[in-house]
Every structure is written in structure tokens, then in C-alpha cells.
Amino acid sequence: MRLVALPALRARLLDALDRHLPTHAHAEPSLRAALRQLASHPGKLVRAQLVLIGAEQHGWSAAAAEQLACAIEFFHVASLVLDDLPCMDNAETRRGQPCVHRRHGDATAILAALALINRAYALAGEAFLRAPRTVRRAAVTCLHRALGHAGLVGGQAWDLAFARTDRSSRTVAKIAAAKTGALFELTVLLPALAAPASGVERRWLRALCVYWGLQFQAADDLRDVLLTSVAAGKTTQRDQLMARPNLALALGVPAARHRLARLDTQIRRTLHQLNACSSRWDYLRQFHDTASALLARPVEAETVAA
Amino acid sequence: MRLVALPALRARLLDALDRHLPTHAHAEPSLRAALRQLASHPGKLVRAQLVLIGAEQHGWSAAAAEQLACAIEFFHVASLVLDDLPCMDNAETRRGQPCVHRRHGDATAILAALALINRAYALAGEAFLRAPRTVRRAAVTCLHRALGHAGLVGGQAWDLAFARTDRSSRTVAKIAAAKTGALFELTVLLPALAAPASGVERRWLRALCVYWGLQFQAADDLRDVLLTSVAAGKTTQRDQLMARPNLALALGVPAARHRLARLDTQIRRTLHQLNACSSRWDYLRQFHDTASALLARPVEAETVAA
């Protein structure tokens, strides 16, 4: 229970996130308030914790590990703020709070997301300053691939256009891999770039990111269908209404649960293969055993929405 | 007449922008169409031309010069797309076309801007891959400062909140420096990072960026007040309606014209000081003599809107 049982790690992350938050005393008050709201409701910090542990495993300095963890958290938070906008998912609540755009307006929400994105690129740039050129090149490629038109942005475009696709579970999975999988690519691969991994290891790592992305998204899809907004801490029951990709809607709840279990098997098999290559990947298995399994576990039948 | 009389430079830029556009055949059709629309109406490419010339002056490879020019153009275009959104300036036309959000929806416009921003960071990262660490560190700082909460994003937040400020011409100038000046900082300083400039030179370069930003913004403010949307190729007559910072509204048209003339004097003095340091800055004077002076010239009295 290394990851979630370590309050010190979370405290360290909260301190780093606060220090790196892109705001200052003379910033425009709404923008500052929006960023403060985001910082005050930090979520579970699953990705940031994994980055921190991975970066230390692979020999990063403590400062660079924190920069990398904050960068990925800021990219993640910015994507949530933008996804929640009225023109996207039109969500009302997030992390048990009114969404940033509900409290501060759409324009301020967009600007807060952009400030986070800009700071995140700066943090990633600083973290990789001392790395050799081949590693820096790989980092630029990784950020570009995961966040851009072939990753997060492209996935969100397909998410919004889902009603105009075949609506199959295959398309649902493709979108989840592009959106949720992309952020796991950053989370897992960026810290690992410091460790010269073999081609085989890189393939297993990529597969792991896709599976984790699918697993997290499938669990989120089940929560959207089965939970109330209060229980989930964010707006639910939205995917059917908005014609968004949702595995539980595409397959039905029992089949979605079954898929989730199968993904867990695939993840464990992948982690086993990675450990067979080198014990330095064991932190990924520890992560899966604790935080990931906890977060992505199928929601219980008794929590069905009223 | 080096800059605007060089159709070859423009053709080279258009080719590079097309090659670096963040889209592909399997991208979601609306996102692809939005990016294609932006690429098909490229504007005057003033900044990108200046980057290209500056990068070659300072010894960048042709490929890196193009990467840098495209990066800054993509940041610029993304900022226009976002500024035009209904929640920001609610513009209707841009570059003689319906705005991207009017044709493809707000969500797609936001995603297109994000795809451009992500590609721009990747291009800048690639352009600086071979640079020494101190130069790369300066590039990260420059991008962060110009684009983030202390630059473009922060300036846009104050722009939207202008009605809640003192509405003075000083506040108008502060916002113009943060928004328009910031993009000139990228345009001028990023290519110049390859040339070890003295502290004095760096101060003059920074001053030049602020003056150019103020000049471009003041000319834009006059166009907003004096031109029809058809004549300007974009929505005008908006600043008063939306309570946006506008020098011609804060000072009156004659005083704004006078300020524009004074800025020109300040710019020429700064360029003279830079040339006194080294002739390698002469391309900046050439730029001002042609493209910049042409674009920022005070709009004529006879073009007053109907």
C-alpha cells in the first residue's frame, strides 16, 4: 500500500502544486480566483503521485520530479476545465464544487486552462533541461503526441462527434485510448525517458498506458451511468443525454463490468512482462495494486442512481 | 523594401505552415476543417516573416528557422481564434471570413486552438534541441513569460475585465504591452537567443517589443473605431460596445494618432541604439521601414465607418 498510504507524498505534491501555480498578486482577480479554486480542490493526484515515484525510481532530482509531476497534473486539470465548458460537456460540478466556468465564467475558465497549459510546458521544459539531446527529443515527441491532435485534443474532438460515428464499443475504446490513455502515456513514459528502455520494454509500457486509459475511462463510464452527481462529486448521467462515448451504454452495464475485469487481467499480464525485463518497473505494479485498482474498481451495484 | 517585397519568403512560409499544420487524414472532420480554414486564410504573416529573417541573421538552420516561424504564427493564430469566441470578443469575421467558431462551433474552435498551441510548443522544442543549455533555459523562460499569466493570457484576462479597471490610457497601454507586446517578444527575442546579446542590447530589444506591441495595438484600436468590418476584414466597432481597452476611445482619435506618431519616434530611436551596438540588428530597422510601418500606419480619415 505504498502509494495511497503515503500522506507525505500527497503533502509534498500539494506544496509543489501551490508553488508552481501560474498566478501572482497582480493577476486579474477572476483569473486568480479561478486558479485558486482549482488549487484548493486538487482531486486524488493519482497521475502526479505516479510521476513522482517514477521520476525518483529513474534517478531524477527531487526538484525535476516535482516539476514533472506538476506539469502533468496541470495538463490534466486544464483538460477537465475545458471538457466541462458548456460548448463541450456542459458540466455543473467537478470535485464536489461548481465547475470553474459556472463560478467565474467561460472566458476565465479558458484562460485559467491556458495559464496551466503554458506553465506545464515550462515545467516540463525545465525538468528536461539537463537531459541529453536524444532524451529531450523523445520528451518533445511524447508531449506532442499525447496532448495534440493525435492524442488528447484529437480524442476530445471525436468524443464530441461521437453521435456521427458508428457508436460501436470499438469507437468508444479508440476515443478512450486517445484521451485517457494519452495522459497515462505522459505519466508513465516521461519519467521513464531518463532510463534507457529496450524496444520490448517500451512496447509493454505503451500497452500498459493504453490498458490503464481504457480501464480508467470504463470505470468513469460506469460511474456516469450508475452514480448520482453527489456521489461522484461531478456531473453524471450526462453521456446518454449528450450522445457521448460510454462503454456501459455501448455494451450494457454487465458487459462493461466484464470488460473492466478483462482489462485488469491484461494489465497484470503486462506488468508481469515488464517485471520479467527488469525489476525497476516494479513501482508500476505497486501503483496498480493500490491507487489504480482503487480508483478504477467497478462501482458497486447498490450505488445505482436514484 | 526587403520584407514585403519578397513573395518568395511568403511562399516559403505558406509551404512550411501547411507542412506543420497539426492535422492528418484520420482527424475528426470538423477539427480538420477548422484547421484547414485557418491555414487557407493566413493573414499578413508579419511576425512569421520577421522570425524567419531574424533566425537566418542569427545563424539558425533553414529548418529550425521555419519551425520557429511556424511556432510563433500558430501561437498567434490560436490567440485570435480564442479571442474571437462568444465568451470573449464575440466576433463574427476574421481575415474576411466567418470566424472559426461561427463555422465549426465553439468547441471545435477551442480544440483547433489547442492543437495549434501544442504543435507550436513541439516546433519550438525541436528548433532549440541543438542549442546550449543556457539558450534553451532562456527559451523556456521567454515562452513562459510571453504566453502565460504574465503575458498573453494575463493580458487577455485584463482585457475582458477592463470595465472594472480605471479605464485610463495607462491601463490600455499596460494591457496592450501584455498582449500584443508579448507576441513581439517571442518574435524578436526567440531567434535572437542564438546570438549572445549584451545586457544593454537585451534591454533595447525588450523596449522595442513593447513599443511595437503598443504601436500595433494602437493602430488596431483606431481601425476598430474608424473602419467598417468589411474594410478591416474582421469585426470592428466592438470595443466600445464590449467595454474593451481601446486607445482611440480612451484618448480620442486625434490624440491616439499623435500617440502613434510618438511611438514611431521611440521605435526609431530604439532601433538606432541597437544599430549603434551592432549592425546585426539592422534587419529590425528594415522590418520597421517596410512591413511594420505599413501595417501600423494610422488609418486615414476618409475611411471613417459609415
Statement: residue A231 has pLDDT above 90:
no
- Burial code of B244-253, b = ≥16 C-beta within 10 A, e = fewer? bbbbbbbbeb
Q: How confident is the model at residue B306 (pLDDT cuts 50, 70, 90)?
A: very low
The predicted structure's pLDDT at residue A81: 98
- pLDDT tens-digit map of B202-247: 999 999 999 999 999 999 999 999 988 888 888 888 898 899 999 9
CA-based nearest residue to B174, from B149, B141, B151 = B151
Determine the pLDDT at residue A298.
53
Residue B47 is which amino acid? R
Q: Which residues, numbered 106 to 135 in chain B, qualify as contacts with chain A under a Cβ-Cβ cut-off of 8 Å?
A: 106-108, 110-111, 114-115, 117-119, 121-122, 125-126, 129-130, 133
Residues of A in contact with B158 (CB under 8 A): 28
Cβ pair A125:B129 closer than 8 A: no
The grid coordinates of residue B27 equal: 482527424
Q: Which of A240, A235, A266 is nearest to A253 (CA)?
A: A240
User: Would you state the pLDDT for residue B58?
Assistant: 95
> CA of A232 to nearest chain B CA: how many angstroms apart?
25
Q: Is the pLDDT of residue B5 over 80?
A: no
User: What DSSP character marks residue A181?
Assistant: I
Task: Return d(Cα B9, Cα B25) in angstroms, integer.
Answer: 28
Q: What is the mean pLDDT of residues A222-251?
A: 89
Taking the CA of residue A26 and the nearest CA in chain B, the distance in Å comes to 9
Phi and psi torsions of A4, nearest 5°: -75, -20
Nearest to A122 among B23, B24, B144 (CB): B144
Q: Do B147 and A118 touch (CB under 8 A)?
A: yes
What is the Cα–Cα distance from B224 to B236, expressed in whole angstroms? Answer: 5
Q: What is the pLDDT of residue A295?
A: 61
**Residues B187, B120: Cα–Cα separation, whole Å:** 13
* Close Cβ partners of A228 (under 8 Å, ≥ 6 residues apart): A236, A237, A305, A306
Mean residue pLDDT across chain B: 91
Closest CA to A159 of A257, A242, A248: A242
CB contact under 8 A, B129 and A121: no
- The model's pLDDT over A39-65, given as tens digits with 9 standing for 90+, comes to 999 988 989 999 999 999 999 999 999
Counting residues of chain A whose pLDDT is more than 70, the rounded percentage is: 93
The CB density around residue A168, as the number of other CB atoms within 10 Å, is 12
A204: helix, strand or coil: helix
Rounded CA separation A86/B107 (Å): 9
What local confidence, expressed as pLDDT, does residue A36 receive?
Answer: 97
Q: How many CB atoms lie within 10 A of CB A12?
A: 18
With cut-offs at 50, 70 and 90, classify the pLDDT of residue A167: very high
- Evaluate if residue B296 carries a pLDDT over 60: no
Average of per-residue pLDDT across B282-305: 68
Q: What is the pLDDT of residue A233?
A: 84
Whether A18 has its CB under 8 Å from any CB of chain B: the answer is: no
Q: What is the pLDDT of residue A2?
A: 45
Q: What is the predicted pLDDT for the residue at A304? A: 41
**Chain A interface includes B43 (CB < 8 A):** no
Interface contact flag, B28 A157, Cβ < 8 Å: yes
pLDDT value of residue A297: 57
Question: Cβ-count burial of B179 within 10 angstroms (0-12 exposed, 13-18 middle, 19+ buried)?
Answer: buried
Q: What is the average per-residue pLDDT within A280-290?
A: 92
Choose among A135, A147, A290, A157: nearest CA to B29: A157
> To probe the interface with A, which of B28, B68, B119, B159 has the most A CB atoms within 10 Å?
B28
| Binding-face residues of B in 152-181 toward A, CB within 8 A | 153-154, 156-158, 160-161
* Exposure string over A276-290, b if 16+ CB within 10 A, otherwise e: eeeebbebbbbbbeb
Which ipTM value was assigned to this complex? Answer: 0.94
Instruction: Tell me the chain B residues in contact with residue A119 when contact means C-beta distances shorter than 8 Å.
Output: 144, 148-149
Is there a contact between A267 and A240 (Cβ–Cβ < 8 Å)?
A: no
Given a cut of 90, whether residue A111 has pLDDT beyond it is: yes
Which residue of chain A comes nearest to B90, CA vs CA?
Answer: A107
A133·B129 Cβ contact <8 A: yes
Q: Is the pLDDT of residue A305 over 50?
A: no
CA–CA distance, B137 with B117 (Å, rounded to integer): 20
- Partner B contacted by A85 (CB < 8 A): yes
- The alpha-carbon gap from A141 to the nearest alpha carbon of chain B, in Å, equals 7
pLDDT in tens, A125-139: 999 999 999 999 999
End-to-end C-alpha distance for chain A, whole angstroms: 34
pLDDT for A236 beyond 90: no
- What confidence score (pLDDT) does residue B293 get? 60
Mean pLDDT taken over chain A: 91
CB contact under 8 A, A27 and B149: yes
- A41 sits in the region (left: phi over 0; alpha: psi -120 to 50; else beta) called beta
State how far the Cα of B58 lies from the Cα of A199, in Å rounded to an integer: 39
A27 and B115: CB-CB below 8 Å? no
Q: Which pLDDT score is estimated for B271?
A: 97
How far apart are the C-alpha atoms of B2 and B283, rounded to whole Å?
9
Picking from B31, B17, B48, the residue whose alpha carbon sits closest to that of residue B119 is B17
From the CA of B119, how many Å to the nearest CA of chain A?
6
Taking only the tens place, the pLDDT of each residue in B272-285 is: 999 999 999 999 99
Cα Rg of chain B (Å, integer) = 19
Phi, psi for B234 (deg, rounded to 5): -150, 165
| Chain A touched by B242 (CB under 8 Å) | no
| Mutation to test the B interface, candidates A26, A30, A111, most B Cβ within 10 Å | A111
What does DSSP assign to residue B91? -
Q: What is the DSSP code string of B202-249?
A: HHHHHHHHHHHHHHHHHHHHHHHHHS-HHHHTS--S-HHHHT---HHH
Residue range B68-90, pLDDT digits in tens = 999 999 999 999 999 999 999 99
Torsion, Cα A142 A145 A146 A148, to 10 degrees, reads 140
CATH number for the domain formed by residue range(s) B7-303:
1.10.600.10
Cell of B31: 477539427
Query: What are the chain B neighbours of A31 within 8 Å (beta carbons)?
Result: 149, 153-154, 157
